[in-house]
Amino acid sequence: MRKTERYRVTKANSLWHIYKTVPFWKVVKNFIVIQLARYMPFLSIKNGLYRKFLGMEVGTQTAFALMVMLDIMFPERITVGKNTVIGYNTTILAHEYLIKEYRLGDVVIGSEVMIGANSTILPGVTIGDGAIVSAGTLVHKDVDAGTFVGGNPMKQIYSKEEMDQRKQEDDF
């Protein structure tokens, strides 16, 4: 189970309660910053926008590729370690609005992580240091450090031990 906080709603679905959960002007500011950054070709400026205006923790030498879509409502709940690559058109969510509840959860992406293009990371997920997430993966649960995962539903392709063994074989 992902690590999320659950908030029940009554009457209408939770999306109708959106501005009770997050201020309108915060969403507007975040939307503008995120849209600007999605097309920003300079990684250091992009990371600076995320840190300064969205309150995200972003490690040094981390690279968000073109079109990465961050959570517009709660980007401050996303943390990314150093020297990590977030692939093209990846979506990182820290919230989900459902019929009878909404959920919030921190997303923690470690250092030296590779996330392939067109992946989706759901709220409450931790991706360990050195992990590899294949392109097009729906990350719906934690990923252990050093493992290689992929698919929808996400499955482990190689464990850390298998990955270490493959690296040793490639060195010869």
Q: Phi/psi of residue 65, each to 5°?
A: -70, 175
Q: How far apart are CA 162 and CA 166, in angstroms?
A: 6
The answer, yes or no, to whether residue 124 has pLDDT greater than 90, is yes
The tokens describing 15, both together, are 């999306």
pLDDT of 112: 98
- pLDDT of residue 134 exceeding 90, the answer is yes
CATH fold of the domain at 5-171: UDP N-Acetylglucosamine Acyltransferase; domain 1 (2.160.10)
DSSP per-residue string spanning 51-115: HHHH--EE-TT-EEPTT-EE-SS-GGGEEE-TT-EE-TT-EE-SEEE-SSEEEE--EEE-TT-EE
Domain ranges of the chain: 5-171
% of the chain beyond a pLDDT of 70: 99
Residue 120: pLDDT above 90?
Answer: yes
* pTM for this prediction: 0.94
Distance CA 119, CA 124 (A): 16
- Cα–Cα–Cα angle for 16, 90, 30, rounded to 5 degrees: 50
pLDDT of residue 164: 83
pLDDT of residue 143: 98
